[in-house]
A and B are shown apart, each in its own frame.
Chain A
Amino acid sequence: MAPTTISNQIRALRFHHGEMTQQELAVQIGVSRQTVNAIEAGKYSPSLEVAFRIARVFDKPLEDVFQFDAGDGPQRG
């Protein structure tokens, strides 16, 4: 299974928000701690809704939390 092309800064943001735990973030965004762990590790790309919730928790725009590496991926047209 290929890792996602979406990277994120969640671990750093948690650290800068009073060393927030994965469990605390999970409760605030309504997913399990394991899902937060999978998102941080790049094993799972969250839905837009969860992505926005994470950004809201850290009071950051979405682009500051998630980055998309387009690379040589497929293009239409």
Chain B
Amino acid sequence: MSYIVDIMSNIPVKSDIAVRWMGASFEERSVWIQLFSMVLILGGYFLAAWQMLSHGMTVLVPYVPVFAVAVTLMVIVMAVGHAAVAIASRPEGRDERDRLIEWRAESNSGWLVGAGVILGILAMIASVPNVWTAHLLFLSLFLSEVLKCVLQLVYYRRGM
């Protein structure tokens, strides 16, 4: 057993991730927490919504409690994650690089919301049920936020 643990601890990918995490600023860790919680929880919501849609549930109201639970869970996970990171290492506060990275990532991910709005309008013109249109808009917002987080992490790691 100790042999296996020894091998696992020497896997370069694992140690590389650990080193990167230890060297990351509070802001970068915050982005990781946002990305993780969004993909895990809102991704879970979209899976649940897809199941409901595929079973022919075309009324929007039953989706509301599922959505409310997902958002509440996400807020809890984010709060706990940020608190844990803040306890482990004192936050330094945002500086000009953090702000620039966020602006650039936002600028390069905002088009997804725009595309979602255009598709939403087209869906309304085509008389697509409201439940599909609502989820299309929400999906574009979700993907835009995920892309923003991914771009922020790329800019933190590769520079800008």
Q: Which residues of A contact B (CB under 8 A)?
A: 1, 3-4, 26, 30-35, 37-38, 41-44, 46-47, 50
Interface of A, helix, strand, loop or mixed by DSSP: loop
| Chain B residue nearest to A47 in the complex (CB) | B96
The answer to whether A4 and B97 have CB atoms under 8 Å apart is no
The answer to whether A31 and B159 have CB atoms under 8 Å apart is no
The answer to whether A46 and B159 have CB atoms under 8 Å apart is no
Interface of B, helix, strand, loop or mixed by DSSP: helix
Residues in B neighbouring A30, C-beta threshold 8 A: 95
The answer to whether B159 and A32 have CB atoms under 8 Å apart is no
Query: What 0/1 readout, one digit per residue, does chain B (7-41) give for beta carbons within 8 Å of chain A?
Result: 00000000000000001111110000000000000
Residues in A neighbouring B98, C-beta threshold 8 A: 32, 35
Q: If A32-B25, A34-B24, A34-B28 touch, does A43 touch B96 (CB 8 Å cutoff)?
A: no
